[in-house]
Structure 1
Amino acid sequence: MARRKKGRPIHGWVIVDKPAGIGSTQVVGKVRWAFDAQKAGHAGTLDPDATGVLAVALGEATKTVPFVTDALKAYRFRVAWGAETSTDDASGETVATSEVRPDAAAVEAALPAFRGQIEQIPPQVSAVRVEGERAYDLAREGVEMDLAPRPLWVERLEIIAADADGVELEMVCGKGGYVRSIARDLGRALGTYGHVAWLRRLWSGPFEAEAGISLEELERLARTPELEAHLRPLEMGLADLPALPVTEAAATRLRHGNPAEVLSGAEFGETCWAVRDGQAVAVGTYKAGMLHPSKVFQTG
């Protein structure tokens, strides 16, 4: 006999405005508990000291996580001049110092090199894997690693404010970006050292921090009907993909993992999602009037 899953079969997104001082995994656990959900995951880790939008997927919405993770994200952060740290943020130990304090004009002149398609080396304390182990675990053991550069698309990087001791920046970037690496490398490019003093994720794909629920409110409303108002549709995780309507018969075929005809077209080979009565049925590849499903949603 199969074991019954604990919790409710609840599906959708919960947008949390994460405070500093708590990890992303802990936030996911709190959301899962508050909704008494069977399954939960998140679309993009935030460092414990960072604040802002953390999108938590429940139930079948976890199948849409990759599409949110791949979407653009916006960050606002302050780079403090004069010190580089072991973590590239304010939580680490100072490993190098400089008296050089670049002005706003110097920063502006350096920013073009950090826009567009760039390569960046992740921080020593990061979640990248090194021979099967997380870099942050090895760093805690005192191991120094030569991490390989990784590609990053930076859509926008602009100065918001500047003073003698640092600069506040806003960045829009693609998947896999490390703001801490931007701060470290910008400092070095300007002949000084820098680290992230504070960081806030403003939005991630279709989700905005301003629309998020605080942890205090989440805990206050936990296990109550009022909390349901903070559950967003599963379909929000598919906002960047074309939606193709289908008949009820086609929806049934798709839910069983079979290709089915759609009622509108898309580019050949494009990833799309099938919709029936406003609900997502499946995600798949469009080919010659048919959707070939790779993920199906069982929300009934």
Structure 2
Amino acid sequence: MGKRKGRDISGWLIIDKPAGITSTSVVNKVRWAFNAKKAGHAGTLDPDATGVLAVALGEATKTIPYITDALKAYEFSVTLGAATNTDDAEGEIIKSSDHRPTDDDIKSALGGFLGDIMQVPPKFSAVKIDGERAYKLARDDEEFEIAARPLWVEELLMIDRPDADHVLLEMTCGKGGYVRSIARDLGETLGCYGHVEWLRRIWSGSFTVENAVTLEQIDALAKMPEIDSLLRPLEDGLVDLEEVKCPPESLTKLRNGNAAVVIAHDVEYGEEVWASYDGEAVAVGTFKAGELHPSRVFVKPQSA
């Protein structure tokens, strides 16, 4: 493995992902446009889904877990009356029904999807079954079961009912949620079947679609110095953690991954926090008895 070429550039880029492209393709395009050495994303969106895809460059990739773990919100339309093999509009219809629930039926059914629920991911998903991706097995018509997994659903609201066949919903949930599974299970609960017509992620942690940039903007500025103005600071990935201050005498110790004294207010023993020096993130770690014990350390670019 040769050393990966590119710039030591760090920060977050919030993309409004268009439909018809994979999350990985978006990351690759961003890495190319910024000529960045390293890039990754926080939370995959299906190729047909749109909205917030948070892409981290350089040292910001170390903050990806905090965005992945944060709450996310989706707006989506469910087509009632038909189940598909993919649980979205791309798949083939496998079951259908003439029954249509009332608005009140739908609203009362939504309550069953709140709080800690168990959810079975779609068969056409990237979940691994004995080392193979589920979607690959599904394409090959293999028989298999996917185990249910826990999901936290903070909120699930009916926004609109444009017609008898469609309902517009908004969901706020924790990590690992499948909107397609919600549509499928809601349709089953209502006795009419259902699948996702379209899906848009409207926010992820502190990142909102209003502040997102488009791939057109990325293309327009690719490889140009001005593109760096689209980046958001690495520290934006840490907003869910408490901030502690690093005094000058602790800076070298923390940068080397050693425990050091920090200045903290209202932080509990054992809490995960991040330390800043002159407003810049130095390390993330566990706060114990006045010291930060680093688990991740941020390296300053050579040019800085």
Tell me the TM-score normalized by structure 1.
0.98
Q: Distance in 2 between matches of 1:204 and 1:9?
A: 25
The reply to whether residue 132 of structure 1 matches residue 169 of structure 2 is no
The residue aligned with 2:158 is: 159
**Deviation for aligned residue 1:101:** 1.2
SS at match of 1:138: helix
Give the aligned partner of residue 222 of structure 1.
222
Is residue 7 of structure 1 aligned with residue 6 of structure 2?
yes
Structure 2 residue aligned with 1:16? 15
Q: 1:158-177 to 2 correspondence within 5 Å?
A: 158-162=157-161, 163-177=163-177
Q: Deviations over 1:104-135 (max 9, x none)?
A: 11100101100111111000011111111211
- In the alignment, structure 2 segments of 5+ residues that lack a partner are none
Moved more, 39-48 or 93-102: 93-102
State how 1:126-275 maps to structure 2 within 5 Å. Answer: 126-162=125-161, 163-265=163-265, 266-275=267-276
**Considering only aligned residues, what root-mean-square deviation do their CA atoms show, in Å?**
1.0
Check the 8 A contact 1:75/1:171 in 2, yes or no.
Answer: yes
SS of the residue 2:100 aligns to: coil
Q: Give the letter for the 2:17 counterpart.
A: K
Mapped to 1, the partners of 2:251 and 2:140 lie a distance apart of 52
The offset of 1:248, in angstroms, is 2.0
Q: How many angstroms does 1:284 deviate by?
A: 0.4
Structure 1 SS opposite 2:64:
helix
Per-residue CA deviation, residues 212-240 of structure 1 (Å, 9 max, x unaligned), is 11111111110112211110000010010
Q: What is residue 71 of structure 1 aligned with on the other side?
A: 70
Matched residue of 1:42: which SS? strand
Code of the aligned partner of 1:206: S
Number of positions where the alignment pairs a residue of Structure 1 with one of Structure 2: 299
SS in 1 for 2:79: strand
Q: Which runs of 4+ in 1 moved over 6 A?
A: none
Q: Structure 1 unaligned runs (5+)?
A: none
Q: Distance in 2 between matches of 1:101 and 1:125?
A: 26
Range that drifts further, 278-287 or 243-252: 243-252
- In the TM superposition, residue 4 of structure 1 has moved relative to its aligned partner by 3.9
The alpha-carbon deviation at position 3 of structure 1 amounts to 4.2
Per the normalisation by structure 2, the TM-score is: 0.96
